[in-house]
Structure 1
Amino acid sequence: MTTQGSQPELGLIEGRFGRIWDEAERSHVVKTLAEAGYGFYHYGPKADRALRREWRVSHDMARTEALARLSAECRAAGMRFGMAITPVGSTHPFDDEARADLTRRVAELDAIGIDDLAVLFDDLRGDMPELAERQADVVNFCAGLTGAARVYTCPTYYSDDPVLDLVFADRPADYLGKLGRLLDPAVQVYWTGEEVCSKEIGPAHLERVAGELGRKVCLWDNWPVNDGARMSRFLHLRAFTGRPAAIAGHISGHAINPAIQAHLGCIPAITLPMVYRQGETYAYGEAFGAAARRLLGDDFAQMLQQDIPALQDVGHERLGARADRLRARYEGIDHPASREILNWLDGKDLMTDDEVQTQ
């Protein structure tokens, strides 16, 4: 019996909706994940308008300097640093103006200091002609411009989940196959699994998708992310499940999309290396306990483990009187993670549909 698995390259793709972390929060995440064995950090929050809705507009000087500091911090911690741009409207038409704007913006991202460039098309409309062809054109064009060592993309249809067809229009026939055939073979493709937020990701599914794309995917794992009007009502705390170590040989990398709560989200984040390291001996309850004790100390960790059902399963609006009891429990703990719980109990970082639609 195999008790240990090989570990793919692990990373974080900061690709969620919602509040952008401040520098102190992001520094904590970088330090914690680097120490746990993560190898890359891709910056691309949906709320950074200069990377998404207003991608043709350069970051201001203060933001550029902050991103340069983040790049230096990631590299000093032994992690590759990447930035993700979602060039809305660049594919139709992919004309001289789009090429000029992409050339300028990629050069600006290169100047910040990137090891990886990600060109994303997730959560954009898919009812446009020759979608795969035009997206491949844009990605390959950017790949030819950048000095980054690696280039990634995320398709519009980044999962088998039919909710994508419902929200963004029916996916074109052979969309993945066309995209894979047209993309430069060196480009890595992000994929979330059978669902947008997959409960389980297995080797058979990954093999099928790799066959369509002509390459192994890099997982964009939507755990412990809790953005959006529905998920932000819950704190995602439990350790990773449904990702067997056996998938290591079927992927080019495994990146997680983080929770809004930077400190709390690090608890499940550092259980992912345990999944691969421990293989069939992995137990998610024990993994949570070990991760929480490491980051919070014994007493706080034990308290949090007791409260997982209330914080993760019940939902903010249904806590009722339990909210006051939880607030009383965590008010006496001087720790950033306890303050995140209190802020959540007070209704902070709860998102609306309007926020998602405008980011």
Structure 2
Amino acid sequence: MTVNLGVIEGLFGKPWSWADRTTVLRTLAPAGYRFYHYGPKADPFLRRRWQEPHPPEQFAALAAFAAECRARGVRFGVALTPVGSTHPFDDASRAALRRKLAHLDTLGLDDLAILFDDLPAELPDLARSQADLVDFCANATRASRVFFCPSFYSDDPILERAWGRRPPAYLADLGRFLDRRVQVYWTGEEVISREIGVAHLKRVQDELGRKVCLWDNYPVNDGVRMSQYLHLRAFTGRPAAIRNHVSGHAINPASQPLLSCIPALTLAANYREGDGYAYGQAFLAAATTVLGPDFAATLRRDILPLQDTGLDNLGPRHAELRARYGAIDHPAAREITDWLDGRFRTTLEEVQTQ
């Protein structure tokens, strides 16, 4: 069974350029990535200002990227967060959603994702209200697949600390109220899951009445703390056997688009190779594909300071790394030097306002 791999561009902080997205698409499509959901938190016209249309120039770029996806056999989708639309979900909310979806449909959407992640969630009848809105959108859009990210998209208790109390039987209620065709995004036992196993996925499937589509928060490195680190290592903790218990597996990429392709390629190898998968070997093969052999070998030697030490703790290594990667003429090397220069730091203000 082939797993349905994809990208959910759902990170906070500095947005990618359209050229970045195209490079990622062209790198991952040959490895079996088959859908791309555009939903960066920095796009206000999909979140805080969702009722407004994108400016013409930005919408034209979005349309061009959608066409590029289709040309490469990749389904294109938009991830919309209709902030404030569920309470109340009234005639005004329905009219605004209908206008927005009609506008987005001109892109030729294959997929539509409705997201309620990382927003205040202590609201009455949360599951019913969200399911009603998602079903309305599913009937209003021309997209042939609809995805939904619930407010509580993981078992992780941090979500309650951040966004409010989880309603009793929230997942089971969603399973009853949502149309069976709607796919549900889920990050695993944690927001950033170290491991995702069959037993956990079976339990969630039983509650929701459907297999989940994994929203894998690796290699994403947004947020005040995580932006201190580059996430480069190969995927582990995702046994190939989980392919039979998910409807799809999407990665949320890092702020560094080209470097994100390295772990992304290892996820494809993980599923392809099964019990023969070796994460160190997979990293080197993926890095060689993206960077070439010499650069890949250099990056492999520097994984410890880049991924584990933290930007503010590099000390004298900072200047050494800055000189080494500053001398390499490659866009991924520039991503590393930009990170070393602090250009990828995500601030608390960005997380709170995007």
Instruction: Return the TM-score normalized by structure 2.
Output: 0.99
The residue identity in structure 1 corresponding to 2:68 is E
Give runs of ≥4 in structure 1 deviating > 3 Å. none
Contact (CA 8 Å) 2:13, 2:347: kept in 1 or not?
A: no
Q: Does 1:114 align with 2:109?
A: yes
Contact (CA 8 Å) 1:7, 1:273: kept in 2 or not?
A: no
Deviation (angstroms), 1:7: 2.9
Percent identical: 62
Q: Does 1:162 align with 2:142?
A: no
1:247-284 alpha-carbon deviations (Å, 9 max, x no partner):
00000000000000001111001111111111111111
Q: Does 1:304 align with 2:296?
A: no
Q: Which residue of 2 aligns with 1:228?
A: 223
Any gaps of 5 or more consecutive residues in structure 1?
A: 1-5
**Given the alignment, which residue of 122, 125, 142 partners 1:130?**
125
Q: Does 1:176 align with 2:139?
A: no
Q: Does 1:244 align with 2:239?
A: yes
Distance 1:339 1:318 in 2: 20
Q: Does 1:8 align with 2:3?
A: yes
Any gaps of 5 or more consecutive residues in structure 2?
A: none
Instruction: Return the TM-score normalized by structure 1.
Output: 0.98
Q: Which residue of 2 aligns with 1:148?
A: 143
Q: Which residue of 1 aligns with 2:348?
A: 353
Q: Mapping of 1:252-271 within 5 angstroms?
A: 252-271=247-266
Distance 1:123 1:331 in 2: 36
Distance 1:295 1:131 in 2: 43
Distance 1:84 1:330 in 2: 35
**Given the alignment, which residue of 56, 62, 70 partners 2:57?**
62
1:92-125 alpha-carbon deviations (Å, 9 max, x no partner):
0001110000000011111112100001111111
Q: Secondary structure at 1:112's aligned position in 2? A: coil
1:15-43 alpha-carbon deviations (Å, 9 max, x no partner):
11111111111110010110111000000
Contact (CA 8 Å) 1:91, 1:138: kept in 2 or not?
A: yes
Q: Secondary structure at 1:39's aligned position in 2? A: strand
**Given the alignment, which residue of 332, 341, 349 partners 1:337?**
332
Q: Mapping of 1:203-218 within 5 angstroms?
A: 203-218=198-213
Q: Which residue of 2 aligns with 1:3?
A: none
Q: Does 1:28 align with 2:23?
A: yes
Q: Does 1:81 align with 2:76?
A: yes
The residue identity in structure 1 corresponding to 2:191 is V
Distance 1:133 1:23 in 2: 37
Q: Secondary structure at 2:107's aligned position in 1? A: helix
Q: Does 1:40 align with 2:35?
A: yes
The residue identity in structure 1 corresponding to 2:336 is I
Distance 2:2 2:14 in 1: 31
Distance 2:47 2:108 in 1: 19
Distance 1:9 1:355 in 2: 31
Distance 1:323 1:335 in 2: 19
Contact (CA 8 Å) 1:81, 1:115: kept in 2 or not?
A: yes
The residue identity in structure 2 corresponding to 1:94 is F
Distance 2:199 2:309 in 1: 33
Count of residues in Structure 1 that have an aligned counterpart in Structure 2: 354
Q: Does 1:285 align with 2:248?
A: no
The residue identity in structure 2 corresponding to 1:58 is P
Distance 1:49 1:113 in 2: 21
